[in-house]
């Protein structure tokens, strides 16, 4: 492998892009700031601590404008754990342009959304309720003018229409059908989980055809229509069609669509099961703080207007991400993740590390990785020092003989034959001399 290049790019306020480039390979991690809710799961499971959480309470309350977390591109090892286990799909990971989680049967959160077309009553309710824009509906509703056919000029018609608005789910079918009907669109809240209010009929435009009350138009039995005028007209059967597209990469399994669908046409499986506990609520200031229900991605927490309780938790909406716990400056919220559902190949590479990360999400504590110590035996070396012995002087006659022999050796060392012998060539030289003799 050649040179590896690491890059960090922040093209706008909503994205942090990390790149790992080597030869013909490129890994890209894209962190979407606008999708992140500050749950901290990525920071918990990152094996190299490359993800750092910012001050969550200050950001959630609006006192600090910053992303909930930042990535260190020099520490990131591009393992894709954060992408696979992010409960709100805020981290995107690709290898050579292909989504890694689609390429490999990696372990990932097992959250699902299933649309049952055979049960669907065509309307736009689930699209209007979805806070993540994960549902897109192309709804075809015929106009009343094309269904009510008069012989000649439409006469003045008298009648009566009763509206039971408390039954209305504000699916908007009647508004799309008839120009005489209007609804004020509103943002759904936990306390008022509907996308509209103030259903009304302009009686000057109404001809009391009764199509708004038709079973193929209204799923909630809201209208009762009576026509008092005998009029020559033909009313055709309304046919509504809905092309429903669900983007599973945007869905966070909050359950809003499933809970409020009038025909149970959507089924959602949440990946995390757990419980949430509110404690020491006397310290809670929901008016001055707003952190927990501002940060909650599923609107599972809210401060009710018609109750003495400061904060109410709607368990059916909760995905137990833990963002509210981190956001509370008084530490009044405790989230326990009791069960993590995951899917993927448990025999693949790095499975043990991924399973460890999943267990970490559920709060399991692991001891720090220890380095095995190799025992070293130190042996004492005893040094025995002997006393020097004095060498007695040579006797004169022996000294004379030694000096004589040394002089003879010195003479031999000066000869060519001896030098050749020292250099290893004595035998060859002798043979030549012998041939010459």
Kindly state whether residues 152 and 233 are assigned to the same domain.
yes
Q: What percent of the chain has pLDDT over 70?
A: 87
Give the model's pLDDT for residue 66: 92
Residues 100-111: tens digit of each pLDDT: 888 767 788 999
Residues 228-242: tens digit of each pLDDT: 999 999 999 999 999
Residues 39-71: tens digit of each pLDDT: 999 999 999 999 999 999 999 999 999 999 999
- In-domain check, residue 206: yes
Residues 256-300: tens digit of each pLDDT: 999 999 999 999 999 999 999 999 999 999 888 999 999 999 999
Total domain count, the chain: 2
- In-domain check, residue 213: yes
Kindly state whether residues 126 and 194 are assigned to the same domain.
no
Give the model's pLDDT for residue 203: 96
Rounded-to-integer distance, Cα 358 and Cα 111, Å: 14
Whether the pLDDT of residue 161 is over 60: the answer is: yes
Residue 46 CA: distances (Å) to CA of 76, 81, 110, 374, 389: 9, 7, 19, 29, 72
Q: Provide the 3-class DSSP secondary structure of residue 301.
A: strand
Residues 2-32: tens digit of each pLDDT: 688 999 999 998 999 999 998 889 999 999 9
- In-domain check, residue 234: yes
Q: What is the CATH number of the domain that holds 165?
A: 3.30.70
Give the model's pLDDT for residue 343: 87
Kindly state whether residues 129 and 209 are assigned to the same domain.
no
- In-domain check, residue 250: yes
Kindly state whether residues 197 and 160 are assigned to the same domain.
yes
> Which tokens belong to 173?
């079918």
Q: 364: buried, middle or exposed (CB in 10 Å: 19+, 13-18, 0-12)?
A: exposed
Kindly state whether residues 149 and 189 are assigned to the same domain.
yes
Give the model's pLDDT for residue 223: 98
Q: Are 71 and 16 in contact (CB under 8 A)?
A: yes
- In-domain check, residue 150: yes
Rounded-to-integer distance, Cα 3 and Cα 20, Å: 11
Kindly state whether residues 212 and 173 are assigned to the same domain.
yes
Kindly state whether residues 195 and 129 are assigned to the same domain.
no
DSSP string, 20-66: EEETTEEEEEEEETTT-----HHHHH-TT--EEE--HHHHHTTSS-S
Q: What is the CATH number of the domain that holds 260?
A: 3.30.70.20
Rounded-to-integer distance, Cα 27 and Cα 346, Å: 23
Residue with the larger pLDDT of the pair 275 and 433 = 275
- Averaged pLDDT for residues 193-215: 97
Kindly state whether residues 149 and 216 are assigned to the same domain.
yes
Whether the pLDDT of residue 379 is over 90: the answer is: no
Read off φ and ψ for residue 407, nearest 5 degrees: -65, -40
Residues 312-337: tens digit of each pLDDT: 999 999 999 999 999 999 999 999 99
Kindly state whether residues 169 and 185 are assigned to the same domain.
yes
Residue with the larger pLDDT of the pair 409 and 356 = 356
Any residues with CB less than 8 A from the CB of 72 and at least 6 apart, and which?
50, 51, 52
- Averaged pLDDT for residues 182-186: 97
- In-domain check, residue 338: no
Helical residues (DSSP H) of 252-310, grouped into ranges: 256-260, 291-295
Kindly state whether residues 116 and 175 are assigned to the same domain.
no
Residues 399-408: tens digit of each pLDDT: 888 888 888 7
- In-domain check, residue 349: no
Kindly state whether residues 230 and 252 are assigned to the same domain.
no
Q: 220: buried, middle or exposed (CB in 10 Å: 19+, 13-18, 0-12)?
A: middle
Give the model's pLDDT for residue 37: 96
Domain region containing 205: 142-239
Q: How confident is the model at residue 375 (pLDDT cuts 50, 70, 90)?
A: very low
> Which tokens belong to 45?
């499971």
Q: How confident is the model at residue 423 (pLDDT cuts 50, 70, 90)?
A: low
User: Comparing 65-69, 156-160, 185-189, 345-349, which segment has the lowest mean pLDDT?
Assistant: 345-349
Give the model's pLDDT for residue 104: 62
Last residue of a domain, one of 239, 274, 289: 239
- In-domain check, residue 152: yes
Kindly state whether residues 215 and 128 are assigned to the same domain.
no
């Amino acid at each position: 492998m050649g040179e590896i290049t690491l890059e960090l790019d922040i093209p706008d306020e909503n994205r942090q892009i990390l790149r790992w480039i080597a030869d013909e390979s490129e890994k890209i991690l894209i962190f979407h700031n606008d999708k992140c809710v500050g749950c901290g799961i990525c920071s918990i499971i990152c094996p190299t601590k490359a993800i750092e959480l910012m001050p969550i309470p200050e950001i959630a309350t609006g006192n600090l404008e910053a992303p909930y977390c930042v990535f260190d591109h020099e520490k990131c090892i591009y393992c894709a754990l954060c992408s696979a286990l992010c409960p709100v799909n805020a981290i995107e990971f690709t290898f050579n342009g292909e989504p890694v989680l689609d390429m490999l049967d990696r372990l990932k959160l097992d959250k699902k959304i299933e649309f049952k077309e055979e049960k669907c009553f065509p309307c736009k309710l689930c699209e209007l309720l979805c806070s993540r824009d994960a549902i897109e509906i192309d709804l075809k509703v015929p106009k009343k003018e094309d269904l009510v056919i008069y012989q000649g000029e439409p006469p003045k018609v008298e009648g009566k229409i009763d509206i039971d608005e408390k039954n209305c789910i504000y699916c908007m079918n009647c508004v799309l059908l008839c120009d005489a009907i209007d609804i004020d669109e509103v943002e759904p809240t936990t306390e008022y989980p509907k996308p509209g209010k103030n259903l009304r009929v302009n009686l000057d435009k109404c001809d009391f055809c009764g199509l708004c009350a038709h079973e193929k138009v209204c799923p909630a039995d809201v209208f009762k229509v009576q026509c008092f005028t005998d009029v020559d007209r033909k009313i055709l059967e309304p046919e509504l069609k809905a092309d429903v597209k669900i983007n599973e990469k945007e869905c966070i399994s909050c359950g809003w669509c499933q809970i409020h669908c009038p025909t149970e046409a959507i089924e959602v499986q949440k990946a995390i099961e757990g419980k949430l506990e509110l404690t020491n609520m006397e310290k809670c200031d929901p008016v001055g703080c707003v952190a927990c229900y501002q940060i909650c991605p599923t609107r599972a927490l809210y401060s009710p207007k018609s109750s003495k309780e400061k904060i109410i938790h709607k368990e059916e909406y909760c995905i137990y991400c833990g963002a509210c716990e981190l956001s509370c400056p008084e530490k009044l919220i405790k989230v326990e993740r009791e069960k993590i559902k995951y899917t993927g190949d448990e025999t693949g590479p790095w499975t043990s590390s991924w399973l460890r990360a999943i267990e970490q999400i559920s709060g399991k504590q692991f001891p720090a990785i220890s380095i095995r110590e190799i025992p070293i035996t130190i042996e004492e070396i005893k040094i025995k020092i002997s006393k020097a012995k004095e060498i007695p002087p040579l006797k004169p006659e022996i000294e004379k003989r030694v000096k004589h022999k040394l002089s003879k050796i010195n003479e031999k060392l000066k000869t060519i034959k001896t030098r050749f012998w020292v250099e290893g060539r004595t035998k060859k030289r002798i043979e030549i001399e012998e041939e010459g003799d």
